[in-house]
Amino acid sequence: MEEKLLTNLFEIKDSFTIDVYLEHDGYKAVEKAFQEMNPESILAEVKNANLRGRGGAGFPAGVKWGFVPKDVDKPKYLCVNADEGEPGTIKDRYIMTHDPHLLLEGIIIASYCVGINTAYIYIRGEYENVALRLEKAIAEANAKGYLGKNILNSGFDCQIYVHRGAGAYICGEETALLESLEGKRGNPRLKPPFPALVGLFQSPTVINNIETLSNVPKIILNGADWFVQTGLPKDGGTRIFGISGMVQKPGIYEMPVGTSLKDIIFKVAGGMKDGKKLKAVIPGGMSAPILTADEVDITMDFDSLAEAKSMLGSAAIIVIDENTPILDVLKKITKFYSHESCGQCTPCRIGTNWINKTVQRIAEGQGKIEDIDNIIRLASNILGKTLCPMGDAAAMPILSIVNKFRQEIESYIGN
């Protein structure tokens, strides 16, 4: 069931070194891109592969690259989002730890395709060891001539820098990431203008997730058709699912896009821990609306989950069993979003704090029955009304939990 496309080297000793990487077709995609392809054909290949963003929003990478204007007198930048802040998500850390050169190769190809000479990897501050490993990998690639000036005599220059964040969830939001990278407070920007036109240092910028870029060398080597066949026609390739919570074997599993959620939980992850019954699943990182046990018969791709009014997000699956009070889940969620709101816009700043206070009060046994409708009303007043998508990220899980588990929450009130 597993399909090891990106994770194929993970179990090999010293897979993070350039020597092991080169032994396993490493940097062959860069060579192919320079020798057999040009920026236009690379872009076409990535577009045809329907490689959708692995960070959460699922925006097609090729289309995003295409938005960057060709002829500008400013430098263009690639920002690699390694903030990986969405609770439950651990996949990018594994890629960077075990196969950093795959990421670097993806960055070089993407940069060549869009005409970028400088790329920044914005990595969350807590990933200290990972950042050090990335820096080592960059040094290796520089020494072997895969980075720097005139890479492989192609005339193309590219340099990659690692920038460590300071631990704010909001800096995973792409425009807040840009602000933070510029040395400012990590507040999301008002869009438009979009980063493709006005991004880092006011210049055209591409922002991609680690996993997204790591797919690029595979697409270049094996072709778009192969990639689409691996996954779904409109959603190609595999996903690295990060499974956490009450399962027998939590961890990361790479499987084709469109794998059944039920199979992932009960077959791949070994089923429920201690034989408990499944209560609910958060399918795509904490901001994805919750699915009840009755709703897990679903395939894991952007469109199917959107149809079920949830989202694939970062494909981080959080499994909740019957022994876990749903109020505990809600408490964690409201506390997290209240704590991580940047405070810039009104609904998120005050709304998440208000809801959190109400939920904590319910948990302390001081709830009133009208609190439930009030939470729904407040979350609806955040949804779709904030400056950045983080308002929705807070409101969606809250709304889905309160609506789907209303009875259980009511049972905490009044006794």
Partner 1 sequence: MVKIFIDEKPLEVEEGITVFSAAEQAGIEIPHFCYHPAFAPEGTCRMCLIEIEGVPKLELACAEVVRDGMKVSTNNAKVVEARKGVLEFLLADHPMDCPICDQAGDCKLQDYYEQYGMLESQFSEVKEKRDKKRKIGQKLIHDQERCVLCRRCVRFTREVTKTQELGVFERGVHAEINILEDLPVDNKYSGNLAQICPVGAITDLDFRFQTRSWFLKSGDSICPLCSRGCSISVDSHRGFYRFKVPKRVYRIRSRRNDDVNGFWICDIGRYGYGYINENRLGQILSKNDRNEAINWEKALNMLSEKMKKVHPMDRTSGAVLIINPWLTNEELFLIKKFLIENQEFKNVYLIDIPDGEGDDFLITTERSPNKRGLQELGVKTKSLSSDKLPEKIKLVLAFSPPNIDAEGLASVKAVFDLAETKILFTSHENDLSNTADMVFPTAVIAEKEGSLINIDGVLQKFSPALEALGDSRPEWQILIELAKEIDTNYKYYNQFSSPEAILQEMRKEISDFGKKSD
* Residue ranges binding partner 1 (CB under 8 A): 168, 170, 185, 190, 338-347, 349-354, 357-358, 361, 368, 371, 374, 377, 380-381, 384-387
Shortest distance, position 219 Cβ to partner 1, whole Å: 32
Please identify, using beta-carbon distances, which residue of 222 and 353 lies nearer to partner 1. 353
DSSP 267: I
> Sign of the C-alpha dihedral, residues 244, 246, 251, 257?
negative
DSSP 316: E
Please identify, using beta-carbon distances, which residue of 6 and 170 lies nearer to partner 1. 170
Please identify, using beta-carbon distances, which residue of 244 and 344 lies nearer to partner 1. 344
Please identify, using beta-carbon distances, which residue of 321 and 371 lies nearer to partner 1. 371
Shortest distance, position 350 Cβ to partner 1, whole Å: 4
| DSSP letter for each residue of 39-56 | HHHHHHHHHHTT-B-TTT
Residue 291 CB partners (closer than 8 Å, separation 6+): 261, 280, 281, 282, 283, 298, 308, 310
Of residues 285, 283, 253, 246, the one with CA closest to residue 268: 253
Contact (CB, 8 A) for 124 and 82: yes
Q: How far apart are CA 298 and CA 168, in angstroms?
A: 33
Shortest distance, position 147 Cβ to partner 1, whole Å: 36
Residue 39 CB partners (closer than 8 Å, separation 6+): 112, 113, 114, 115
Shortest distance, position 368 Cβ to partner 1, whole Å: 7
Which residues of 31-103 form beta strands (DSSP E)? Answer: 77-82
What is the phi/psi pair of residue 294, to 5°? -75, -15
Please identify, using beta-carbon distances, which residue of 37 and 345 lies nearer to partner 1. 345
Shortest distance, position 395 Cβ to partner 1, whole Å: 11
User: What single-letter amino acid sits at 391?
Assistant: G
Please identify, using beta-carbon distances, which residue of 260 and 341 lies nearer to partner 1. 341
3-state secondary structure (DSSP) of residue 377:
helix
User: What single-letter amino acid sits at 77?
Assistant: Y
Q: Which residue has the tokens 């993806």?
A: 106
Please identify, using beta-carbon distances, which residue of 249 and 361 lies nearer to partner 1. 361
Q: How far apart are CA 319 and CA 317, in angstroms?
A: 6
